[in-house]
Amino acid sequence: MTLETPAAEDEVFKLSRTFDASKALLWDVLTKGEHLANWFGPAGMKLIVKSLDLKVGGVFLYGMQMPTGVTMWGKWVFREINAPDSLAYVVSFCNEAGQPVRHPMAPLWPLEVLAIQTLVEKDGKTVLDSHSFPINATPEERAIFKAGHSSMQMGFGGTFMQLDAYLARLK
């Protein structure tokens, strides 16, 4: 087993959602800063797009500003880009300069999570399948990630509701 494979299948966090949008449109709203700023992140937070360089090795650096004004920073480092079919990137919490930091509310959260997303269009709608799992992580970090699956389902549920609403506004 390499450090970049899940320790067990049940460690992989899986999401699947069908969106009422073409694959081309969904790809754009997933990969362009001007779109991400309108829907990405937990409900009630404002997304700050500091930079987005959509290329292998490129970085999406963003802040999620809470209503209190506190901003949590995150980044994606793109590993694979197969427009408009799939995307793989490493997700990390970071500071505003993009340097990795521990999750502010979960110190044992993995420093790096690999996310792999695929898009498949069917009957004018697009299915987004997402799989993510910790990489280069300790057994404790992997256990915390696995224990967080249900809260991540709820969090992404809210984020995807925002994405649905944004897609409806684009039509």
pLDDT by residue (tens digit) across 9-18? 899 999 999 9
Q: Rounded CA gap, 103 and 167, in Å?
A: 30
Where does the pLDDT of residue 75 fall: very low under 50, low under 70, confident under 90, or very high at 90 and above?
A: very high
Q: Rounded CA gap, 27 and 84, in Å?
A: 6
Task: Report the pLDDT value the prediction gives residue 12, as an integer from 0 to 100.
Answer: 96
Percent of the chain whose pLDDT exceeds 90 = 89
pLDDT of 1 > 60? The answer is: no
pLDDT of 155 > 50? The answer is: yes
Q: Does domain 9-44+82-91+102-170 have CATH number 3.20.20.70?
A: no
Distances (CA, A) of 28 to 32, 46, 136, 167: 6, 19, 30, 11
Task: Report the pLDDT value the prediction gives residue 159, as an integer from 0 to 100.
Answer: 94
pLDDT of 26 > 50? The answer is: yes
pLDDT of 2 > 60? The answer is: no
Average pLDDT over residues 99-122: 95
Instruction: Identify the residue with better confidence: 105 or 51.
Output: 51
pLDDT of 55 > 80? The answer is: yes
Q: Rounded CA gap, 141 and 146, in Å?
A: 9
Please give the model's pTM, rounded to 2 decimal places. 0.94
The residue count for the chain? 171
pLDDT of 127 > 70? The answer is: yes
